[in-house]
Amino acid sequence: MRFIGKLKRDKRAVGSIIGATFIFLILTSGIFYYVLTTALQRKYAEKASEMEEFDWERSREKIIVYRLTVTEDNKLQITLVNLGSVQVEIIWIGVFDTSTDPPTQQYYNVQVAIPPAANQTITTNIFIDPYKTYEIQIITARGNIIEYNYPIPEPWGSRAYITIEGPDTINYNQWTTYTIRVTSVTGDPFPYVFVYCYVSGSTAKIKVGWGSSTFSYGLTDSNGERTIQIKSKTRNGEYFMLYVSSGGFLLQKIIYQKPKGG
């Protein structure tokens, strides 16, 4: 009888150890699962934040082709202007020869970073036949694709005139209006054509919406006109340049801003 009683007590002790071990394993598994889940959620939140920031920056990219030409040895040369609020990295330039069927293609690898309000000229090793037509693709690191055709259609050809109407001298820190006109040699307006404006002064700005910038762009109205406002606030005064480009044509105007109190 004593033997039997001792065996029962030993069984109870072994059962308690197994139970404690089981509870310990459950607690350990729970803690591990909690740590793993928390780590995964943190990683997911970080990736989601990175993707959201990437998409935001991608939507802010705004690159235009300011000039598209061919060098003397028939190599494609492109001047790009960054009109957006973020730096843009150009990684590829693609050229599709649309004169052939099917079109042939060439890609030129570039690693060019263009800050906001800056321009960059890229000379490629891609051969261009001036008697053929091409589709040009500029590809950014964020995945945006800008497409242009060569030669760039210019419906007004060499008969176009750009004029800038406005004063040569402006007052300190005061908005001044300038009217840009795109017309033919006979004075006929070219409505709804793209116009790009840029000022080079240290404090010169062009009014854009509720704010201001060193550049502005948009279309002419039905009369072939586009109106902009310019302001400069250099204390001692300064000369600066207003550049206006449209359809491959460029016009510049020297403007003098009077000193403060002058």
Do 167 and 216 lie in a common domain? yes
Q: What is the pLDDT of residue 238?
A: 87
Q: Which of 150, 184, 204 is the last residue of a domain?
A: 150
Do 141 and 164 lie in a common domain? no
Q: What is the pLDDT of residue 175?
A: 96
- 3-state SS class at 174: coil
For residue 119, being part of any structural domain is answered with yes
For residue 228, being part of any structural domain is answered with yes
Tokens of 26: 């459950």
CATH number at residue 138: 2.60.40.10
Q: What is the pLDDT of residue 248?
A: 67
Range of the domain at 70: 63-150
For residue 221, being part of any structural domain is answered with yes
State the DSSP code for 133: -
- Give how many domains the chain has, as a whole number: 2
pLDDT class of 229 with cuts at 50, 70, 90: very high
For residue 43, being part of any structural domain is answered with no
Q: Which of 150, 179, 212 is the last residue of a domain?
A: 150
pLDDT class of 241 with cuts at 50, 70, 90: confident
The CA–CA distances, whole Å, from 105 to 94, 102, 127, 134, 157 equal: 7, 10, 11, 9, 28
What pLDDT, in 10s, does the model give residues 31-46? 777 777 787 778 877 7
Q: Which of 119, 150, 181 is the last residue of a domain?
A: 150
What pLDDT, in 10s, does the model give residues 152-186? 555 444 456 788 999 999 999 999 999 999 887 67
pLDDT class of 1 with cuts at 50, 70, 90: very low
Q: What is the pLDDT of residue 160?
A: 67
Instruction: Indicate left, alpha or beta for 145 from its phi (over 0: left) and psi (-120 to 50: alpha).
Output: beta
Q: Indicate the range of 89-103, 152-166, 185-199, 219-233 predicted with least confidence.
A: 152-166
| For range 90-117, the mean pLDDT | 88
Do 162 and 252 lie in a common domain? yes
For residue 58, being part of any structural domain is answered with no
Distance from the first to the final alpha carbon of the chain? 120
The residues near 177 (Cβ < 8 Å, ≥ 6 apart) are: 166, 227, 228, 229
Do 166 and 78 lie in a common domain? no
Q: What is the pLDDT of residue 39?
A: 76
User: Strands 249-257 and 169-170, how do they pair?
Assistant: parallel
| For range 205-233, the mean pLDDT | 90
Residue 2 has pLDDT above 70, yes or no: no
What pLDDT, in 10s, does the model give residues 105-163? 888 899 999 988 788 889 988 888 878 888 889 999 999 998 877 775 554 444 567 88
Q: Which of 1-10, 147-156, 201-210 has the highest mean pLDDT?
A: 201-210
